[in-house]
Structure 1
Amino acid sequence: MGEEVVSVAASLELLDDGEVVFVEGDLGWFKERGYGDMRGEKRYVFSPVETLYLVKHGKAEVYRYGRRLGFIELLSFFAMRDQNLWRDYVIYMDLRKRRYVVKEGFGPKLRFRVFERGEYQSKPAKYLVIPLYEGESVSVDELISLVRSCRSMDKVAVVAVLDRRNEVVYYHASTVELWNK
């Protein structure tokens, strides 16, 4: 499969509260491919990592006070609000490149919901991504707690580690009960 093609880049607006909203373009194209979410009755919003991805790939243009913002400006703006933005963006970009639909997860520790290829809109997400930087400490108890949370939601836990070269390595994480009979 080749690159996703959109006929004309959509217009998005960066609001004062940091939210990015859809203004103009082919909204159906974004919905079909799992970009953005409806908030309330009239607002279609995009997460910071989605916004960066769409701008980088020419699928959207973002405006603030009528001025078009570039990728670097957006990256700087969002990074001031989230110290893990780069890590999350690289992981998001890597998953999208692998043709997965990626949606926001349940907070910074269970960062992304990932849908099996071809199952978006027909089945719930199969995976929950636990993002880490290479060398970042995480306690075994915390990791077990996150894996159990994933299991309780009937999701597969995937630890995504961003290394120093901006490459992502994925690990399937699960708990094992060992019994001595």
Structure 2
Amino acid sequence: MMTIEVLEAFLSKNKIYLKEPEKLMELREKAFGTLAEDKLFLSPYETFYLVEKRRARVTDEKTAKEKTLQHLVTKLSVGKPTIWTKYLVYRDLRDRGYLVRESEGGFDFETFGKGATRRQVSIVFEGGESTLERLARLSAKANKEGKDLVLAVIDRRTDIVYYTLNTERFEGK
């Protein structure tokens, strides 16, 4: 039976990082974290995922006490009320085999790794507001970058359905 090594991560001022150089490249190859100052800094979503999958253990740098997933979610969600719901989409994409990174420009995540197509993912909450103008703008931006736009629609039961949006132009004569 193969045992998976649990990585040691540290919490310092709402930032999570790993500092074992030999482990950093393995995580970077799987699109985890951002390298800076000889450390690999993890996003909240990456941290939640690695802790939930028992691939990482997070210790408070000051107190040397291990932090639970619940504690991390509470601490890192201050001022970010949708962080857990967005994490559910992140986890679902990772579990489906995609490499996932946080994205900018109105998108929530960017996925790659399955096939050649890169996708920009935007989360839509059932019952939440989303305008056609916003969707058209996101679709045009993704298209300009040569990527597909995927809408991750998450309902009240946290079921997630994915839709790919394509922008087509029809011109009449």
- Scaled by the length of structure 2, what TM-score is found? 0.90
Structure 1 residue 20: Cα displacement? 1.0
**How far off is 1:6 after superposition?**
6.8
Aligned position for 2:7: 10
Superposed, 1:105-120 pairs within 5 Å as 105-106=103-104, 109-117=106-114
Identity %: 28
Q: Conserved in 1, the CA contact under 8 Å of 2:19 and 2:38? A: no
Task: Mark the CA change 1:8 to 1:118 in structure 2 (over 3 Å): closer, same or farther.
Answer: farther
Aligned match of 2:131:
139
Q: Which is worse superposed, 30-39 or 131-140?
A: 30-39
**Partner in structure 1 of residue 142 of structure 2:** 150
* Deviations, residues 115-173 of structure 1 (Å, cap 9, x unaligned): 03276xxxxx7000011211111111111111111111111000001111111110101
* Structure 1 consecutive aligned stretches of length 4 or more whose deviation exceeds 4 Å: none
Which position in structure 2 is the counterpart of 1:46?
Answer: 42
- Write the distance in 1 (CA, Å) between the matches of 2:19 and 2:38: 11
Structure 2 CA distance for partners of 1:54 and 1:15, relative to 1, 3 Å: same
SS at match of 2:143: helix
CA distance 1:6–1:35, shift in 2 (3 Å): farther
**Contact kept? 1:10, 1:23, Cα under 8 Å:** no
SS in 1 for 2:110: strand
Q: 1:43: Cα distance to partner?
A: 2.7
RMSD: 1.8
Verify the 8 A CA contact 1:95 1:102 in the aligned structure 2: yes
Matched, 1:127 2:119: yes
What are the Cα deviations for residues 48-79 of structure 1, in whole angstroms up to 9, with x where unaligned?
00100000000001111211100100111112
Equivalent pairs, count: 169
Tell me the equivalent position of 2:96. Answer: 98
The 5-angstrom pairing of residues 32-71 of structure 1 reads 32-39=29-36, 41-64=37-60, 65=62, 66-71=64-69
